[in-house]
Amino acid sequence: MGAPLLSPGRGAGAAGRRWWMLLAPLLPALLLVRPAGALVEGLYCGTRDCYEVLGVSRSAGKAEIARAYRQLARRYHPDRYRPQPGDEGPGRTPQSAEEAFLLVATAYETLKDEETRKDYDYMLDHPEEYYSHYYHYYSRRLAPKVDVRVVILVSVCAISVFQFFSWWNSYNKAISYLATVPKYRIQATEIAKQQGLLKKAKEKGKNKKSKEEIRDEEENIIKNIIKSKIDIKGGYQKPQICDLLLFQIILAPFHLCSYIVWYCRWIYNFNIKGKEYGEEERLYIIRKSMKMSKSQFDSLEDHQRETFLKRELWIKENYEIYKQEQEEELKKKLANDPRWKRYRRWMKNEGPGRLTFVDD
Residue 261: the pLDDT is 94
Question: For 126-140, what is each residue's pLDDT tens digit?
Answer: 888 877 878 888 777
What is the dotted CATH code of the domain comprising 50-142?
1.10.287.110
Report the distance separating Cα 339 and Cα 321, nearest Å.
28
Residue 40 CB: number of other CB atoms within 10 A? Answer: 17
Report the distance separating Cα 300 and Cα 175, nearest Å.
19
318 Cβ contact partners less than 8 Å away, ≥ 6 residues apart? 311, 312
pTM, two decimal places:
0.47
In the chain, which residues have pLDDT < 50? 1-12, 16, 19-20, 22-23, 26-36, 91, 206, 355-358, 360
Residue 38: the pLDDT is 60
Residue 337 CB: number of other CB atoms within 10 A? Answer: 12
Report the distance separating Cα 113 and Cα 130, nearest Å.
22
Residue 8: the pLDDT is 42
Question: For 18-77, what is each residue's pLDDT tens digit?
Answer: 544 544 554 444 333 444 456 777 788 888 889 988 999 888 888 999 999 998 888 887
87 Cα distance to chain centroid: 57
- In the chain, where the domains are located: 50-142, 149-199+211-239, 277-348
